[in-house]
Structure 1
Amino acid sequence: MRTAGKITIVTSALAIAAVPMAAMAPAAGAQAAPAWYAYHGQTAEQSVKQVTRLKDQGYRPVTVNVSDGERYAAVWVKGGSSNNWGIWQGMSADGFQKRFDAAKKEGAQPTSVSATGPADSPVYTAIFEKKSGAYLSRSDLTPAAFAALNKQAEAKGLALTSVDAYGTPDDVRYVGVWSANTGGAWYYTYGKSIKQHEAEVYAKKDKGFRPVKVAVAPDGTYAAVWRKDGVKSWAHYVDMNASGYQKRFNALKNKGLAPVQVNAENGKYAAIWQ
Protein backbone atom coordinates (compact mmCIF):
# COMPACT_ATOMS: atom_id res chain seq x y z
CA MET A 1 0.00 0.00 0.00
CA ARG A 2 1.37 3.40 -0.81
CA THR A 3 1.01 6.74 0.86
CA ALA A 4 2.24 10.27 0.28
CA GLY A 5 0.38 13.48 0.57
CA LYS A 6 -1.31 16.28 2.37
CA ILE A 7 -3.45 16.46 5.45
CA THR A 8 -7.10 17.42 5.40
CA ILE A 9 -9.96 17.73 7.82
CA VAL A 10 -13.55 18.89 7.65
CA THR A 11 -16.49 20.19 9.65
CA SER A 12 -19.68 20.02 7.70
CA ALA A 13 -23.22 18.85 7.58
CA LEU A 14 -24.26 15.29 8.22
CA ALA A 15 -27.01 13.50 6.31
CA ILE A 16 -30.77 12.79 6.01
CA ALA A 17 -31.95 9.70 7.70
CA ALA A 18 -32.02 6.47 5.95
CA VAL A 19 -32.34 2.96 7.20
CA PRO A 20 -32.22 3.07 11.02
CA MET A 21 -29.87 0.41 12.33
CA ALA A 22 -30.16 -0.68 15.93
CA ALA A 23 -30.09 2.76 17.48
CA MET A 24 -29.84 2.51 21.25
CA ALA A 25 -29.82 5.01 24.08
CA PRO A 26 -26.71 5.24 26.25
CA ALA A 27 -26.74 2.89 29.22
CA ALA A 28 -27.58 4.33 32.60
CA GLY A 29 -24.50 5.24 34.57
CA ALA A 30 -22.27 4.91 31.53
CA GLN A 31 -18.88 6.56 31.80
CA ALA A 32 -18.57 9.94 30.14
CA ALA A 33 -17.07 9.69 26.68
CA PRO A 34 -13.82 11.55 25.95
CA ALA A 35 -14.08 14.91 24.26
CA TRP A 36 -14.39 14.47 20.51
CA TYR A 37 -14.76 16.41 17.30
CA ALA A 38 -16.11 15.25 13.93
CA TYR A 39 -16.45 16.78 10.48
CA HIS A 40 -17.37 15.72 6.95
CA GLY A 41 -17.71 17.07 3.42
CA GLN A 42 -14.52 19.07 3.76
CA THR A 43 -12.32 20.04 0.83
CA ALA A 44 -8.64 19.15 0.94
CA GLU A 45 -7.74 22.70 1.97
CA GLN A 46 -10.39 22.81 4.69
CA SER A 47 -9.26 19.44 5.98
CA VAL A 48 -5.65 20.56 6.31
CA LYS A 49 -6.74 23.55 8.35
CA GLN A 50 -8.82 21.30 10.58
CA VAL A 51 -5.91 18.94 11.17
CA THR A 52 -3.60 21.77 12.17
CA ARG A 53 -6.18 23.30 14.50
CA LEU A 54 -7.23 20.06 16.17
CA LYS A 55 -3.67 18.84 16.66
CA ASP A 56 -2.78 22.13 18.32
CA GLN A 57 -5.75 21.68 20.65
CA GLY A 58 -4.62 18.22 21.76
CA TYR A 59 -6.87 16.05 19.62
CA ARG A 60 -5.85 12.95 17.67
CA PRO A 61 -7.65 11.31 14.73
CA VAL A 62 -9.28 7.89 15.16
CA THR A 63 -10.98 7.44 11.78
CA VAL A 64 -10.71 9.17 8.42
CA ASN A 65 -12.57 8.96 5.11
CA VAL A 66 -12.19 10.37 1.60
CA SER A 67 -14.92 10.24 -1.04
CA ASP A 68 -16.56 11.99 -3.97
CA GLY A 69 -13.71 13.85 -5.65
CA GLU A 70 -11.65 14.34 -2.49
CA ARG A 71 -14.07 15.30 0.21
CA TYR A 72 -12.91 14.42 3.70
CA ALA A 73 -14.53 13.28 6.92
CA ALA A 74 -12.98 12.29 10.24
CA VAL A 75 -13.51 11.78 13.95
CA TRP A 76 -11.01 13.04 16.51
CA VAL A 77 -10.74 12.50 20.27
CA LYS A 78 -8.97 14.54 22.93
CA GLY A 79 -5.76 13.16 24.38
CA GLY A 80 -2.74 11.10 23.40
CA SER A 81 0.70 12.16 22.28
CA SER A 82 0.90 14.30 19.15
CA ASN A 83 4.20 12.56 18.35
CA ASN A 84 2.74 9.07 18.06
CA TRP A 85 0.53 9.56 15.00
CA GLY A 86 0.38 11.15 11.59
CA ILE A 87 -2.43 11.78 9.11
CA TRP A 88 -1.98 12.08 5.34
CA GLN A 89 -4.37 12.84 2.53
CA GLY A 90 -4.50 13.38 -1.23
CA MET A 91 -2.16 10.44 -1.88
CA SER A 92 -1.92 8.51 -5.13
CA ALA A 93 -1.44 4.74 -5.03
CA ASP A 94 2.31 5.25 -5.39
CA GLY A 95 2.30 8.01 -2.77
CA PHE A 96 0.42 5.80 -0.35
CA GLN A 97 2.95 3.01 -0.82
CA LYS A 98 5.84 5.38 -0.16
CA ARG A 99 4.16 6.64 3.01
CA PHE A 100 3.46 3.06 4.09
CA ASP A 101 7.12 2.06 3.56
CA ALA A 102 8.38 5.12 5.42
CA ALA A 103 5.98 4.52 8.32
CA LYS A 104 7.08 0.92 8.62
CA LYS A 105 10.70 2.04 9.08
CA GLU A 106 9.52 4.46 11.76
CA GLY A 107 7.68 1.72 13.66
CA ALA A 108 4.24 3.01 12.66
CA GLN A 109 1.20 1.12 11.39
CA PRO A 110 -1.87 2.24 9.43
CA THR A 111 -4.93 2.34 11.70
CA SER A 112 -7.51 3.90 9.39
CA VAL A 113 -7.24 3.88 5.58
CA SER A 114 -9.72 5.17 3.02
CA ALA A 115 -9.70 5.56 -0.76
CA THR A 116 -11.93 6.89 -3.51
CA GLY A 117 -11.87 7.00 -7.29
CA PRO A 118 -11.29 4.33 -9.95
CA ALA A 119 -8.79 1.53 -9.43
CA ASP A 120 -6.28 3.00 -11.88
CA SER A 121 -6.21 6.46 -10.23
CA PRO A 122 -7.36 6.28 -6.59
CA VAL A 123 -6.90 8.93 -3.92
CA TYR A 124 -5.93 7.76 -0.42
CA THR A 125 -6.03 9.16 3.06
CA ALA A 126 -4.70 7.38 6.13
CA ILE A 127 -3.81 7.59 9.80
CA PHE A 128 -0.57 5.98 10.96
CA GLU A 129 0.30 5.36 14.60
CA LYS A 130 3.54 4.28 16.25
CA LYS A 131 2.68 0.93 17.80
CA SER A 132 3.93 -2.62 18.00
CA GLY A 133 2.17 -5.85 17.14
CA ALA A 134 1.39 -7.93 14.08
CA TYR A 135 -0.65 -6.38 11.29
CA LEU A 136 -1.41 -6.71 7.61
CA SER A 137 -2.46 -4.00 5.19
CA ARG A 138 -3.44 -4.27 1.52
CA SER A 139 -5.19 -2.17 -1.10
CA ASP A 140 -6.45 -2.64 -4.66
CA LEU A 141 -8.22 -5.85 -3.64
CA THR A 142 -10.94 -7.32 -5.82
CA PRO A 143 -13.88 -8.82 -3.90
CA ALA A 144 -12.42 -12.31 -4.31
CA ALA A 145 -8.97 -11.18 -3.18
CA PHE A 146 -10.51 -9.33 -0.22
CA ALA A 147 -12.32 -12.50 0.89
CA ALA A 148 -9.18 -14.59 0.51
CA LEU A 149 -7.06 -12.15 2.50
CA ASN A 150 -9.61 -12.06 5.32
CA LYS A 151 -9.36 -15.83 5.55
CA GLN A 152 -5.55 -15.69 5.66
CA ALA A 153 -5.54 -12.92 8.24
CA GLU A 154 -7.99 -14.68 10.53
CA ALA A 155 -5.85 -17.82 10.43
CA LYS A 156 -2.96 -15.69 11.72
CA GLY A 157 -5.00 -14.32 14.61
CA LEU A 158 -5.63 -10.98 12.94
CA ALA A 159 -8.95 -9.13 12.71
CA LEU A 160 -10.16 -6.61 10.15
CA THR A 161 -9.85 -3.22 11.87
CA SER A 162 -10.17 -0.79 8.94
CA VAL A 163 -12.01 -1.25 5.65
CA ASP A 164 -13.09 0.90 2.74
CA ALA A 165 -14.43 0.28 -0.76
CA TYR A 166 -13.61 2.35 -3.84
CA GLY A 167 -13.32 1.95 -7.61
CA THR A 168 -16.36 2.01 -9.89
CA PRO A 169 -19.75 0.24 -9.77
CA ASP A 170 -18.51 -2.45 -12.16
CA ASP A 171 -15.04 -2.71 -10.60
CA VAL A 172 -15.20 -2.43 -6.81
CA ARG A 173 -11.90 -2.55 -4.91
CA TYR A 174 -11.17 -2.82 -1.20
CA VAL A 175 -8.48 -1.50 1.11
CA GLY A 176 -8.09 -2.98 4.57
CA VAL A 177 -5.99 -3.21 7.71
CA TRP A 178 -5.87 -6.37 9.80
CA SER A 179 -4.46 -6.09 13.34
CA ALA A 180 -3.93 -8.45 16.26
CA ASN A 181 -7.34 -9.64 17.41
CA THR A 182 -7.77 -8.47 20.98
CA GLY A 183 -11.52 -7.97 20.84
CA GLY A 184 -13.04 -11.45 20.75
CA ALA A 185 -15.37 -12.93 18.16
CA TRP A 186 -15.70 -11.11 14.86
CA TYR A 187 -16.72 -11.64 11.26
CA TYR A 188 -17.12 -9.55 8.15
CA THR A 189 -19.54 -9.10 5.26
CA TYR A 190 -19.19 -7.39 1.90
CA GLY A 191 -21.16 -6.83 -1.28
CA LYS A 192 -24.42 -6.56 0.70
CA SER A 193 -27.36 -4.51 -0.53
CA ILE A 194 -29.00 -2.10 1.93
CA LYS A 195 -31.73 -4.65 2.68
CA GLN A 196 -29.20 -7.44 3.13
CA HIS A 197 -27.04 -5.29 5.39
CA GLU A 198 -30.05 -4.27 7.47
CA ALA A 199 -31.15 -7.89 7.76
CA GLU A 200 -27.67 -8.80 9.00
CA VAL A 201 -27.91 -6.16 11.73
CA TYR A 202 -31.15 -7.53 13.10
CA ALA A 203 -30.20 -11.17 12.64
CA LYS A 204 -26.98 -10.82 14.62
CA LYS A 205 -27.98 -8.16 17.16
CA ASP A 206 -29.71 -10.66 19.45
CA LYS A 207 -26.60 -12.82 19.33
CA GLY A 208 -24.50 -9.98 20.69
CA PHE A 209 -22.85 -8.84 17.46
CA ARG A 210 -22.84 -5.27 16.23
CA PRO A 211 -21.24 -3.41 13.32
CA VAL A 212 -18.00 -1.70 14.33
CA LYS A 213 -16.80 -0.71 10.84
CA VAL A 214 -18.85 -0.01 7.73
CA ALA A 215 -17.96 1.01 4.18
CA VAL A 216 -20.14 2.20 1.30
CA ALA A 217 -19.03 0.79 -2.07
CA PRO A 218 -19.35 2.57 -5.44
CA ASP A 219 -22.08 0.12 -6.50
CA GLY A 220 -24.18 0.98 -3.45
CA THR A 221 -23.38 -2.19 -1.51
CA TYR A 222 -21.92 -2.33 1.98
CA ALA A 223 -18.95 -3.97 3.65
CA ALA A 224 -18.85 -4.26 7.43
CA VAL A 225 -16.96 -5.66 10.38
CA TRP A 226 -19.05 -7.18 13.18
CA ARG A 227 -17.94 -7.81 16.74
CA LYS A 228 -19.30 -9.43 19.86
CA ASP A 229 -17.79 -6.98 22.33
CA GLY A 230 -20.49 -6.42 24.93
CA VAL A 231 -21.04 -2.75 24.08
CA LYS A 232 -24.69 -1.96 24.83
CA SER A 233 -24.99 1.68 23.81
CA TRP A 234 -24.51 2.16 20.09
CA ALA A 235 -26.22 3.29 16.93
CA HIS A 236 -25.72 2.56 13.26
CA TYR A 237 -27.29 4.27 10.23
CA VAL A 238 -26.74 3.88 6.51
CA ASP A 239 -28.06 5.36 3.24
CA MET A 240 -27.91 8.93 4.52
CA ASN A 241 -27.23 12.01 2.45
CA ALA A 242 -25.12 14.81 3.94
CA SER A 243 -28.00 16.66 5.57
CA GLY A 244 -29.50 13.43 6.85
CA TYR A 245 -26.20 12.49 8.44
CA GLN A 246 -26.12 15.89 10.13
CA LYS A 247 -29.61 15.46 11.52
CA ARG A 248 -28.78 12.00 12.81
CA PHE A 249 -25.50 13.34 14.21
CA ASN A 250 -27.30 16.10 16.13
CA ALA A 251 -29.98 13.79 17.51
CA LEU A 252 -27.51 11.19 18.75
CA LYS A 253 -25.21 13.81 20.23
CA ASN A 254 -28.13 14.92 22.40
CA LYS A 255 -28.44 11.31 23.59
CA GLY A 256 -24.80 11.20 24.61
CA LEU A 257 -23.53 9.12 21.68
CA ALA A 258 -20.37 10.08 19.81
CA PRO A 259 -19.44 9.04 16.25
CA VAL A 260 -16.66 6.46 16.11
CA GLN A 261 -16.64 5.87 12.36
CA VAL A 262 -18.03 7.66 9.31
CA ASN A 263 -17.82 6.51 5.70
CA ALA A 264 -19.19 7.89 2.45
CA GLU A 265 -19.21 7.24 -1.29
CA ASN A 266 -21.29 8.79 -4.08
CA GLY A 267 -22.99 11.13 -1.64
CA LYS A 268 -24.23 8.31 0.62
CA TYR A 269 -23.12 8.19 4.26
CA ALA A 270 -22.91 5.37 6.78
CA ALA A 271 -21.79 5.85 10.37
CA ILE A 272 -21.48 4.21 13.77
CA TRP A 273 -21.93 5.87 17.15
CA GLN A 274 -21.37 4.66 20.69
Structure 2
Amino acid sequence: MRTTGKVAIVTAVLAGAAVPMTTGAQAQAQAWYAYHGLSASQSVAKVKQLKDQGYRPITVNVSDGERYAAVWVKGGSSSEWGIWQGMSADGFQKRFDAGLKEGAQPTSISATGPAGSAVFAAVFEKKKGAFLAKAGLTPAGFAAANKEALAKGLALTSVDAYGTPGDIRYVGVWSANSGGAWYYTYGKSLKQHEAEVYAKKEKGFRPVKVSVAPDGTYAAVWRKDGVKSWAHYVDMSASGYQKRFDDLKAKGLAPVQVNAENGKYAAIWQ
Protein backbone atom coordinates (compact mmCIF):
# COMPACT_ATOMS: atom_id res chain seq x y z
CA MET A 1 0.00 0.00 0.00
CA ARG A 2 1.46 3.34 -1.02
CA THR A 3 1.09 6.17 1.45
CA THR A 4 1.17 8.89 -1.18
CA GLY A 5 -0.37 9.11 -4.60
CA LYS A 6 1.51 9.09 -7.87
CA VAL A 7 -0.74 11.58 -9.58
CA ALA A 8 -0.59 15.21 -8.56
CA ILE A 9 -1.19 18.41 -10.46
CA VAL A 10 -1.00 21.62 -8.46
CA THR A 11 -0.99 24.97 -10.22
CA ALA A 12 -1.04 28.53 -8.95
CA VAL A 13 -1.56 27.49 -5.36
CA LEU A 14 -2.83 30.29 -3.14
CA ALA A 15 -1.20 30.57 0.25
CA GLY A 16 -2.31 31.76 3.67
CA ALA A 17 -5.39 29.73 4.56
CA ALA A 18 -6.08 27.17 7.25
CA VAL A 19 -9.03 25.16 8.49
CA PRO A 20 -11.57 26.58 8.50
CA MET A 21 -11.07 28.63 5.36
CA THR A 22 -12.53 32.11 5.58
CA THR A 23 -13.36 34.76 3.04
CA GLY A 24 -10.79 37.42 2.30
CA ALA A 25 -8.58 37.72 -0.75
CA GLN A 26 -10.36 34.66 -2.10
CA ALA A 27 -13.90 35.94 -2.51
CA GLN A 28 -15.32 32.50 -3.12
CA ALA A 29 -13.64 30.79 -0.18
CA GLN A 30 -15.81 29.31 2.54
CA ALA A 31 -15.29 27.77 5.92
CA TRP A 32 -15.11 24.01 5.43
CA TYR A 33 -14.75 20.76 7.33
CA ALA A 34 -13.70 17.33 6.11
CA TYR A 35 -13.40 13.91 7.73
CA HIS A 36 -12.69 10.32 6.73
CA GLY A 37 -12.64 6.85 8.23
CA LEU A 38 -15.59 7.45 10.57
CA SER A 39 -17.78 4.58 11.72
CA ALA A 40 -21.53 4.78 11.11
CA SER A 41 -22.22 6.06 14.63
CA GLN A 42 -19.36 8.56 14.49
CA SER A 43 -20.65 9.83 11.16
CA VAL A 44 -24.16 10.34 12.55
CA ALA A 45 -22.74 12.35 15.46
CA LYS A 46 -20.57 14.44 13.14
CA VAL A 47 -23.50 15.16 10.82
CA LYS A 48 -25.57 16.48 13.73
CA GLN A 49 -22.67 18.60 14.97
CA LEU A 50 -21.89 20.16 11.61
CA LYS A 51 -25.53 20.77 10.74
CA ASP A 52 -26.00 22.57 14.07
CA GLN A 53 -22.96 24.71 13.23
CA GLY A 54 -24.41 25.81 9.90
CA TYR A 55 -22.45 23.53 7.56
CA ARG A 56 -23.85 21.56 4.62
CA PRO A 57 -22.34 18.53 2.84
CA ILE A 58 -21.04 18.84 -0.72
CA THR A 59 -19.71 15.29 -1.11
CA VAL A 60 -20.11 12.02 0.78
CA ASN A 61 -18.38 8.64 0.51
CA VAL A 62 -18.99 5.24 2.08
CA SER A 63 -16.45 2.44 1.77
CA ASP A 64 -14.77 -0.52 3.46
CA GLY A 65 -17.48 -1.99 5.66
CA GLU A 66 -19.37 1.29 6.11
CA ARG A 67 -16.67 3.84 6.83
CA TYR A 68 -17.60 7.40 5.98
CA ALA A 69 -15.81 10.39 4.52
CA ALA A 70 -17.27 13.75 3.55
CA VAL A 71 -16.58 17.42 2.90
CA TRP A 72 -18.82 20.15 4.27
CA VAL A 73 -18.93 23.91 3.66
CA LYS A 74 -20.47 26.59 5.80
CA GLY A 75 -23.52 28.31 4.31
CA GLY A 76 -23.36 29.22 0.67
CA SER A 77 -26.77 27.84 -0.27
CA SER A 78 -30.33 28.52 0.74
CA SER A 79 -31.47 25.15 -0.57
CA GLU A 80 -32.95 22.66 1.81
CA TRP A 81 -30.83 19.55 2.00
CA GLY A 82 -30.57 16.17 3.68
CA ILE A 83 -27.90 13.51 4.07
CA TRP A 84 -28.66 9.80 4.49
CA GLN A 85 -26.37 6.86 5.15
CA GLY A 86 -26.50 3.12 5.75
CA MET A 87 -29.17 2.56 3.10
CA SER A 88 -29.72 -0.68 1.21
CA ALA A 89 -30.45 -0.48 -2.51
CA ASP A 90 -34.17 -0.66 -1.69
CA GLY A 91 -33.76 1.95 1.02
CA PHE A 92 -31.97 4.27 -1.38
CA GLN A 93 -34.73 3.81 -3.96
CA LYS A 94 -37.36 4.71 -1.35
CA ARG A 95 -35.37 7.79 -0.35
CA PHE A 96 -35.00 8.74 -4.00
CA ASP A 97 -38.73 8.39 -4.64
CA ALA A 98 -39.52 10.44 -1.53
CA GLY A 99 -37.05 13.08 -2.64
CA LEU A 100 -38.76 13.43 -6.00
CA LYS A 101 -42.07 14.11 -4.25
CA GLU A 102 -40.32 16.72 -2.08
CA GLY A 103 -38.72 18.44 -5.07
CA ALA A 104 -35.26 17.19 -4.12
CA GLN A 105 -32.61 15.53 -6.22
CA PRO A 106 -29.38 13.72 -5.31
CA THR A 107 -26.17 15.74 -5.58
CA SER A 108 -23.69 13.19 -4.24
CA ILE A 109 -24.18 9.41 -4.11
CA SER A 110 -21.78 6.74 -2.90
CA ALA A 111 -22.01 2.99 -2.44
CA THR A 112 -19.85 0.12 -1.22
CA GLY A 113 -20.10 -3.65 -1.09
CA PRO A 114 -21.36 -6.33 -3.50
CA ALA A 115 -24.16 -5.34 -5.87
CA GLY A 116 -26.67 -7.55 -4.06
CA SER A 117 -25.94 -6.16 -0.60
CA ALA A 118 -24.52 -2.68 -1.23
CA VAL A 119 -24.67 0.13 1.32
CA PHE A 120 -25.54 3.61 0.03
CA ALA A 121 -25.01 7.15 1.27
CA ALA A 122 -26.37 10.24 -0.44
CA VAL A 123 -26.88 13.98 -0.22
CA PHE A 124 -30.15 15.41 -1.55
CA GLU A 125 -30.97 19.06 -2.19
CA LYS A 126 -34.25 20.74 -3.03
CA LYS A 127 -33.63 22.30 -6.41
CA LYS A 128 -35.09 22.53 -9.87
CA GLY A 129 -33.64 21.39 -13.15
CA ALA A 130 -33.32 18.25 -15.22
CA PHE A 131 -31.22 15.42 -13.85
CA LEU A 132 -30.63 11.71 -14.19
CA ALA A 133 -29.60 9.32 -11.42
CA LYS A 134 -28.86 5.61 -11.81
CA ALA A 135 -27.35 2.86 -9.66
CA GLY A 136 -26.34 -0.74 -10.21
CA LEU A 137 -24.83 0.04 -13.60
CA THR A 138 -22.43 -2.40 -15.21
CA PRO A 139 -19.54 -0.80 -17.13
CA ALA A 140 -21.57 -1.09 -20.34
CA GLY A 141 -24.61 0.35 -18.57
CA PHE A 142 -22.52 3.24 -17.24
CA ALA A 143 -21.31 4.06 -20.74
CA ALA A 144 -24.90 3.94 -22.04
CA ALA A 145 -26.10 6.23 -19.23
CA ASN A 146 -23.43 8.78 -20.10
CA LYS A 147 -24.47 8.67 -23.75
CA GLU A 148 -28.09 9.21 -22.72
CA ALA A 149 -27.12 12.11 -20.46
CA LEU A 150 -25.04 13.80 -23.15
CA ALA A 151 -28.00 13.65 -25.53
CA LYS A 152 -30.09 15.42 -22.89
CA GLY A 153 -27.50 18.14 -22.27
CA LEU A 154 -26.58 16.76 -18.85
CA ALA A 155 -23.13 16.32 -17.32
CA LEU A 156 -21.86 13.69 -14.90
CA THR A 157 -21.70 15.43 -11.50
CA SER A 158 -21.36 12.50 -9.07
CA VAL A 159 -19.85 9.06 -9.63
CA ASP A 160 -18.85 6.11 -7.49
CA ALA A 161 -17.89 2.50 -8.18
CA TYR A 162 -18.78 -0.44 -5.95
CA GLY A 163 -19.44 -4.18 -6.22
CA THR A 164 -16.62 -6.74 -6.36
CA PRO A 165 -13.49 -6.98 -8.52
CA GLY A 166 -15.32 -9.35 -10.85
CA ASP A 167 -18.59 -7.38 -10.87
CA ILE A 168 -17.98 -3.62 -10.88
CA ARG A 169 -21.07 -1.44 -10.60
CA TYR A 170 -21.46 2.32 -10.94
CA VAL A 171 -23.81 4.86 -9.42
CA GLY A 172 -24.01 8.31 -10.91
CA VAL A 173 -25.85 11.61 -11.07
CA TRP A 174 -26.06 13.68 -14.24
CA SER A 175 -27.21 17.29 -13.86
CA ALA A 176 -27.72 20.32 -16.09
CA ASN A 177 -24.36 21.13 -17.65
CA SER A 178 -23.33 24.56 -16.39
CA GLY A 179 -19.58 24.07 -16.37
CA GLY A 180 -18.46 23.89 -20.00
CA ALA A 181 -16.90 20.99 -21.87
CA TRP A 182 -16.59 17.72 -19.99
CA TYR A 183 -15.44 14.18 -20.52
CA TYR A 184 -15.46 10.97 -18.51
CA THR A 185 -13.25 7.91 -18.18
CA TYR A 186 -13.72 4.65 -16.32
CA GLY A 187 -12.05 1.30 -15.80
CA LYS A 188 -8.60 2.92 -15.93
CA SER A 189 -5.65 1.36 -14.12
CA LEU A 190 -3.50 3.62 -11.95
CA LYS A 191 -0.97 4.04 -14.77
CA GLN A 192 -3.70 4.71 -17.31
CA HIS A 193 -5.40 7.23 -15.03
CA GLU A 194 -2.09 8.98 -14.48
CA ALA A 195 -1.61 9.23 -18.25
CA GLU A 196 -5.11 10.65 -18.60
CA VAL A 197 -4.34 13.39 -16.06
CA TYR A 198 -1.37 14.69 -18.01
CA ALA A 199 -2.99 14.24 -21.42
CA LYS A 200 -6.15 16.05 -20.33
CA LYS A 201 -4.17 18.84 -18.65
CA GLU A 202 -2.44 19.58 -21.95
CA LYS A 203 -5.89 20.18 -23.44
CA GLY A 204 -7.06 22.39 -20.56
CA PHE A 205 -9.09 19.74 -18.70
CA ARG A 206 -8.80 18.81 -15.04
CA PRO A 207 -10.35 16.07 -12.91
CA VAL A 208 -13.37 17.30 -10.96
CA LYS A 209 -14.69 13.91 -9.77
CA VAL A 210 -12.82 10.68 -9.16
CA SER A 211 -13.76 7.28 -7.78
CA VAL A 212 -11.87 4.11 -6.87
CA ALA A 213 -13.39 0.77 -7.89
CA PRO A 214 -13.07 -2.50 -5.95
CA ASP A 215 -10.62 -3.78 -8.59
CA GLY A 216 -8.36 -0.73 -8.15
CA THR A 217 -9.39 1.00 -11.36
CA TYR A 218 -10.51 4.62 -11.56
CA ALA A 219 -13.45 6.53 -12.98
CA ALA A 220 -13.21 10.29 -13.40
CA VAL A 221 -14.98 13.35 -14.71
CA TRP A 222 -12.87 15.94 -16.50
CA ARG A 223 -13.83 19.56 -17.11
CA LYS A 224 -12.43 22.43 -19.09
CA ASP A 225 -13.49 25.15 -16.67
CA GLY A 226 -10.45 27.43 -16.42
CA VAL A 227 -9.81 26.77 -12.72
CA LYS A 228 -6.09 27.24 -12.09
CA SER A 229 -5.67 26.32 -8.43
CA TRP A 230 -6.28 22.62 -7.88
CA ALA A 231 -4.68 19.38 -6.81
CA HIS A 232 -5.46 15.73 -7.44
CA TYR A 233 -4.02 12.68 -5.68
CA VAL A 234 -4.89 9.00 -5.92
CA ASP A 235 -3.60 5.67 -4.56
CA MET A 236 -3.29 7.05 -1.03
CA SER A 237 -3.63 5.18 2.23
CA ALA A 238 -5.72 6.85 4.95
CA SER A 239 -2.55 8.26 6.50
CA GLY A 240 -1.31 9.35 3.07
CA TYR A 241 -4.57 11.19 2.47
CA GLN A 242 -4.25 12.89 5.86
CA LYS A 243 -0.73 14.05 5.01
CA ARG A 244 -1.82 15.47 1.67
CA PHE A 245 -4.79 17.06 3.43
CA ASP A 246 -2.51 18.81 5.93
CA ASP A 247 0.04 19.89 3.32
CA LEU A 248 -2.55 21.34 0.95
CA LYS A 249 -4.50 23.01 3.73
CA ALA A 250 -1.39 25.03 4.50
CA LYS A 251 -1.29 26.13 0.86
CA GLY A 252 -4.88 27.34 0.84
CA LEU A 253 -6.53 24.44 -0.94
CA ALA A 254 -9.70 22.82 0.37
CA PRO A 255 -10.89 19.30 -0.49
CA VAL A 256 -13.94 19.29 -2.74
CA GLN A 257 -14.24 15.53 -3.20
CA VAL A 258 -12.92 12.45 -1.42
CA ASN A 259 -13.45 8.84 -2.43
CA ALA A 260 -12.16 5.52 -1.10
CA GLU A 261 -12.42 1.78 -1.61
CA ASN A 262 -10.39 -1.09 -0.16
CA GLY A 263 -8.30 1.35 1.86
CA LYS A 264 -7.22 3.38 -1.17
CA TYR A 265 -8.13 7.07 -1.22
CA ALA A 266 -8.50 9.54 -4.08
CA ALA A 267 -9.29 13.21 -3.62
CA ILE A 268 -9.52 16.56 -5.37
CA TRP A 269 -8.68 19.96 -3.87
CA GLN A 270 -9.15 23.48 -5.15
Task: Please state which band the TM-score falls in when normalised by the shorter chain.
Answer: over 0.9
Q: Displacement of 1:99 after TM fit? A: 0.2
Aligned position for 1:79: 75
- Partner SS, residue 3 of structure 2: coil
- Offset at residue 80 of structure 1 (A): 4.3
Question: How far off is 1:31 after superposition?
Answer: 3.7
* Mapped pair 1:55 → 2:51: yes
Bigger Cα displacement from structure 2, 29-38 vs 103-112: 29-38
Letter in 2 for 1:77: V
Contact 1:25 / 1:255 at 8 angstroms: preserved in 2? no
Residue 97 (structure 1) aligned with residue 55 (structure 2): no
SS of residue paired to 1:33:
coil
Equivalences for residues 3-152 of structure 1 within 5 A: 16-27=3-14, 30-31=26-27, 33-80=29-76, 84-152=80-148
Give aligned-pair identity as a percent.
79
Q: Distance in 1 between matches of 2:247 and 2:40?
A: 28
1:259 maps to what in 2?
A: 255
Q: In the TM superposition, what are the counterparts of 1:197-236 in structure 2 within 5 Å? A: 197-236=193-232
Question: RMSD value over aligned CA atoms?
Answer: 1.4
- Find the aligned partners of 1:193 and 1:152 in 2 and give their Cα distance: 25
Q: CA distance change for structure 1 residues 176 and 24 in 2, over 3 Å: closer, same or farther?
A: same
1:178-210: CA deviation from partner (whole Å, max 9, x where unpaired): 000011100100000000000000011021100
Matched residue, 1:4: none
SS at match of 1:110: strand
Q: Distance in 1 between matches of 2:51 and 2:26?
A: 28
Structure 2 spans left out of the alignment, 5+ residues? 16-24
User: Between Structure 1 and Structure 2, how many residues are aligned?
Assistant: 260
Name the counterpart of 1:9: none
For 2:250 and 2:77, the matched residues in 1 are separated by 29
SS in structure 2 at match of 1:20: coil
- Given that 2:257 and 2:268 are in contact with CA atoms closer than 8 Å, whether structure 1 keeps it comes out as yes
Deviation per CA, 1:195-249, whole angstroms, max 9, x where unpaired?
Answer: 0000000011021100000000000000000000000000000000000000000
Q: Are the equivalent residues in 1 in contact too, given 2:79–2:125 (CA < 8 A)? A: no
The alpha-carbon distance between structure 1 residues 66 and 82, as it changes in their structure 2 partners (threshold 3 A), is farther
- State the 1:81 CA deviation: 5.8
Please list the CA deviations of residues 134-190 of structure 1 after superposition, one character each: whole Å capped at 9, or x if unmatched: 000000000000001100100100000000000000000000000000111001000
Change (3 A) 1:92 1:63: same
Corresponding position: 1:269 with 2:265: yes
TM-score by length of 1: 0.92
2:89 & 2:11 partners in 1: Cα distance? 39
CA displacement at 1:33 relative to structure 2:
1.6
- 1:135-174 to 2 correspondence within 5 Å? 135-174=131-170
* Secondary structure in structure 2 of the residue aligned to 1:95: helix
Aligned pair in 2 of structure 1 residues 32, 99: CA closer, same or farther (>3 Å)? closer
TM-score normalized with structure 2 length: 0.94
Cα distance in 2, alignment partners of residues 88 and 81 from structure 1: 19
Moved over 4 A (4+): 27-30, 80-83
Question: For 2:157 and 2:107, how far apart are their aligned partners in 1?
Answer: 7
What is the rounded CA distance, in whole Å, between the counterparts of 2:49 and 2:100 in structure 1? 27
Q: Is the CA contact 1:113–1:127 (under 8 Å) kept in the aligned structure 2?
A: yes
